[in-house]
């Protein structure tokens, strides 16, 4: 099922917040306005107390948007703030992306499309909602430098392309949220990160869902995560040397597809003691994979893992035919550590493969994401090259965006 931007109509207004407040039914709320009896008030209080005890207070908060999942699902973003419209593709100045995210309590929308070439890193503020799907055409891409949400909170970021590449500082990442909290990234495409594609050290309550994390360069790392309460769900990880993610955290890792890895889901031996729910993920080897069992790497007895429904396809025969796999050398949990894991698990690993390849990343797909998807679909049976359906350069791990063979210096175009 292909989901386009039109499937998510956006209404931005300071008078009508993006978040739909649907936590209390109208029939219950109406008791107050009609002069409820003491009995009814008692019943309402009792039922509210029951919900708090049974489901936790976070379940009563409004979602960031319909379909938000995991630990970052209650991020408030710029709700109730002002709308800032990006009107040009310039690096800076009035109407630029840099100016739009320089102050908090904003809902950032776009009336332009194409690449924004950054000449230096952008530092974002707290309390932001960034909606790339308001852009006409096929959307917005950020190239050339890091976008940082470091030490900030309450971020909702949807339908954006973050593609750092060799134009930027090699000591930075495509997206950096170090020291941040309460964030959700949905339908974003992260490619060509130099340090990591996604750097998240000392963070909490973060969700990355429906995203593509592919083709990191320099270190060739996918995501560096340290902290607590992360959710990675329904994401596509492609051609990373390692860190898919590096999980120095307690997390949920659900229904991800990981292709052409050298080292997959990783826990550093000195990272500490954490809990991991690893459910219904599909690991698929490619030309860069020398040891298929390294789909789980540096796991150790200090890590408590609930693992179920994970598959590994390791024969590179062009057909999807994986078999069961689970991390070894860990403390095995018989049930998830996170109370929401079972409710978030809605697909088998095989179903997740079909869903993720048509739904992850910014939609509709541009040239670069089309190339990435076509490489995954070869299931390890492609040839070295730059065109659709090839394996990319050598083992399929990139050192520069120029190796894609696409226009615009390898970034491709966003028409």
Q: What is the pLDDT of residues 115-146, one digit of tens each?
A: 999 999 999 999 999 999 999 989 999 999 99
Average pLDDT of the residues in 52-76: 75
Higher pLDDT residue, 289 or 40?
Answer: 289
- The whole-model pTM stands at 0.85
Higher pLDDT residue, 195 or 6?
Answer: 195
Check residue 230 and report its DSSP letter: E
Active site residue 243: yes
Q: CA-to-CA distance for 318 and 299, rounded, in angstroms? A: 29
Instruction: Work out whether strand 257-259 and strand 236-238 pair parallel, antiparallel, or are unpaired.
Output: parallel
Higher pLDDT residue, 217 or 3?
Answer: 217
Q: Say whether pLDDT at 230 is over 60.
A: yes
Grade residue 395 by pLDDT with cuts at 50, 70 and 90. Answer: confident
**pLDDT of the residue at 61:** 64
How many CB atoms within 10 Å of residue 120? 14
As beta bridge partners, residue 307 has 278
- DSSP-derived 3-state class of residue 373: helix
Grade residue 50 by pLDDT with cuts at 50, 70 and 90. Answer: very low
Average pLDDT of the residues in 254-282: 92
Q: Say whether pLDDT at 95 is over 70.
A: yes
Between the alpha carbon of residue 341 and those of residues 52, 53, 68, 278, 279, the distances in Å are 18, 18, 14, 9, 8
Between the alpha carbon of residue 327 and those of residues 264, 276, 299, 330, 333, the distances in Å are 11, 11, 7, 7, 11
Higher pLDDT residue, 42 or 95?
Answer: 95
Q: Say whether pLDDT at 59 is over 90.
A: no
DSSP 16-75: S-SS---SS-HHHHHHHHTT--HHHHHHHHHHHHHHHHHH-GGGGSPPSSTT--GGGTT-
For the chain, the average pLDDT equals 86
DSSP 81-129: SEEEEE----SSSTTSHHHHTSSSSEEEEES--EEEE-SS-EE--SSEE
Contact of 189 with 362, CB cutoff 8 Å: yes
pLDDT in tens, 305-351: 999 999 999 999 999 999 999 999 999 999 999 999 999 999 999 99
Instruction: Return the percentage of the chain with pLDDT > 90, whole number.
Output: 71
Contact of 257 with 357, CB cutoff 8 Å: yes
Pull the structure tokens for residue 238: 């492609």
Q: Say whether pLDDT at 40 is over 60.
A: no
Q: Say whether pLDDT at 32 is over 60.
A: no
Place of tokens 């991991």: 276
């Amino acid at each position: 099922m292909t989901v386009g931007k039109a499937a998510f109509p956006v209404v931005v207004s300071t008078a009508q917040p993006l978040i739909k407040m649907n936590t209390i039914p109208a029939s219950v709320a109406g008791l107050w306005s009609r002069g409820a009896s003491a009995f009814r008030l008692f019943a309402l209080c009792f039922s509210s107390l029951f919900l708090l005890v049974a489901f936790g207070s976070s379940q009563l908060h409004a979602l960031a948007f319909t379909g938000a999942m995991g630990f970052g699902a209650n991020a408030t973003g710029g709700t109730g703030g002002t709308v800032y419209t990006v009107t040009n593709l310039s690096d800076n100045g009035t109407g630029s992306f840099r100016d739009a995210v320089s102050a908090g309590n904003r809902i950032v929308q776009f009336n332009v499309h194409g690449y924004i070439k950054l000449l230096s890193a952008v530092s974002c503020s707290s309390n932001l909602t960034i909606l790339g799907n308001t852009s006409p055409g096929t959307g917005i891409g950020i190239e050339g430098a890091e976008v940082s949400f470091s030490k900030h909170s309450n971020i909702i970021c949807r339908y954006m392309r973050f593609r750092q590449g060799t134009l930027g500082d090699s000591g930075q990442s495509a997206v950096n949220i170090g020291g941040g909290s309460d964030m959700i990234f949905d339908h974003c495409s992260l490619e060509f990160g130099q340090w990591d594609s996604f750097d998240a050290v000392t963070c909490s309550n973060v969700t990355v869902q429906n995203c593509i994390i592919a083709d990191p360069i320099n270190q060739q790392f996918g995501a560096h995560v340290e902290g607590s309460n992360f959710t990675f769900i329904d994401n596509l990880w492609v051609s990373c040397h390692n860190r898919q993610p590096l999980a120095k955290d307690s997390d949920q890792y659900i229904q991800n597809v990981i292709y052409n890895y050298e080292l997959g889901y990783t826990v550093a031996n000195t990272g500490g003691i954490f809990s991991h729910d690893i459910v219904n993920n599909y690991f698929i080897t490619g030309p860069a994979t020398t040891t298929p069992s390294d789909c789980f790497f540096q796991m150790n007895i200090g890590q408590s893992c609930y693992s179920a429904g994970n598959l590994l396809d390791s024969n590179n025969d062009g057909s999807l035919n994986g078999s069961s796999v689970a991390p070894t050398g860990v403390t095995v949990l018989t049930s998830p550590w996170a109370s929401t894991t079972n409710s978030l698990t809605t697909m088998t690993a095989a179903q997740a493969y079909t869903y993720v390849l048509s739904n992850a990343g910014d939609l509709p797909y541009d040239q670069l994401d089309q190339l990435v998807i076509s490489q995954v679909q070869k299931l390890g049976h492609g040839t070295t090259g730059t065109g659709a359906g090839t394996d990319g350069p050598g083992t399929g791990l990139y050192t520069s965006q120029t190796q894609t063979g696409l226009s615009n210096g390898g970034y491709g175009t966003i028409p």
